[in-house]
Amino acid sequence: MNVAVITGASMGIGEEFARQLAARKTDLVLVARSEDRLRELSGELERRHSIRAIPFVCDLSQPAAAERVGAFLREEGLHPAWLVNNAGLGAIGALDSMELTRVREMLMVNMVALVELTHQLLPQLRLCRDARIINVASTAAFQPVPYFNVYSASKTFVLHFSEALNEELRGTDVRVLALCPGPTPTNFGVTGGIDPKFYERGQPTAEVVRMGLVASDNRRAVLVTQRLLPILFTRFLPRFVVRIAAGYVARGMMKKMEK
């Protein structure tokens, strides 16, 4: 059975990918740490759309997590036709103020698990007609962001990795998209210690995912879902101006959080 594998599927953008792909009558494997939420969502999508939605509980911050996902798919006879690498972690603050465990988890989830899972599933994706890989990056990928340094650097990695892989797979049936949303009202900010007000006026997750799916349908390599003009400025301004401006914004966020 061909399936779409979605990481970070229990909430936010990942949950919305599950909903919109289920509406396309795509069978799903939903990967996240929250077992109760995964089972609830899987049952809902199966009843509503008459598809299979299989939960797989996995902590992608742990070593060999991607191998566990790959082994589960093989054991169950499931063939990935889509891979949505959506799982991500973030934290705001000076580097030496963050726990090393949190830093390590960000690196593992945002980069290592994403690459390892892509490596695990790519051979089977190559066997499918019109296979898709969607890697969720961020508008933070386009500039260094002081006090959000590990997260923004990890998303730069995702952007460059996705673009390079897209070119490697040119002429094959596998499409690769780097999806770069801006602030989006999900639980991501809460878990990252970020003031929820920063996301209040963000782009709805349903719109982000809809745009991402259309971009993948149209064989786009990169999609920035909002606030394109500031990102264009980062390409032309001197680097020191970009990092000073990003630091000014981040410090303002931190001061509001301290009040």
Residue 258 CA, chain-centre distance (Å), reads 28
Kindly list the catalytic residues: 151
| Residues whose CB falls within 8 Å of the CB of residue 125, separated by 6 or more in sequence, listed in order | 80, 81, 83, 131, 133, 174
If DSSP states are collapsed to H, E and C, what string results for 44-55? HHHHHHCCCEEE
pTM of the model: 0.88
Mind listing the pLDDT tens digit of every residue in the chain (259 residues)? 899 999 999 999 999 999 999 999 999 999 999 999 999 999 999 999 999 999 999 999 999 999 999 999 999 999 999 999 999 999 889 999 999 999 999 999 999 999 999 999 999 999 999 999 999 999 999 988 889 999 999 999 999 999 999 999 999 999 999 999 988 876 655 454 555 555 556 799 999 999 999 999 999 999 999 866 566 656 666 666 666 666 656 666 655 555 5
Q: Enter the tokens of residue 222.
A: 């990169």
Answer whether 181's CB lies under 8 Å from 209's CB. no
Would you say how long the chain is, in residues? 259
* 5 DSSP β-pair partners: 29, 83
Beta strands (DSSP E) in 59-163 are: 79-85, 131-136
Burial of 239 (0-12, 13-18, 19+ CB in 10 A): exposed
pLDDT at position 192, please?
A: 47
Sort 200 into a burial class: Cβ within 10 Å, 0-12 / 13-18 / 19+: exposed
Structure token digits, residue 63 = 């070593």
State the chain's maximal CA–CA distance in angstroms. Answer: 54
* DSSP β-bridge partners for residue 132: 82, 175
Q: What is the Rg, in whole angstroms, of the alpha carbon atoms belonging to the chain?
A: 18
Burial 54-92 (b: 16+ CB within 10 A, else e): bbbebebbeeebbebbbebbeeeebbbbbbbbbbbbbbb
pLDDT score of 226: 81
- Please name the amino acid found at residue 164: A
Domains (range + CATH), the chain: 2-258 (3.40.50.720)
Say what the pLDDT of residue 86 is.
98
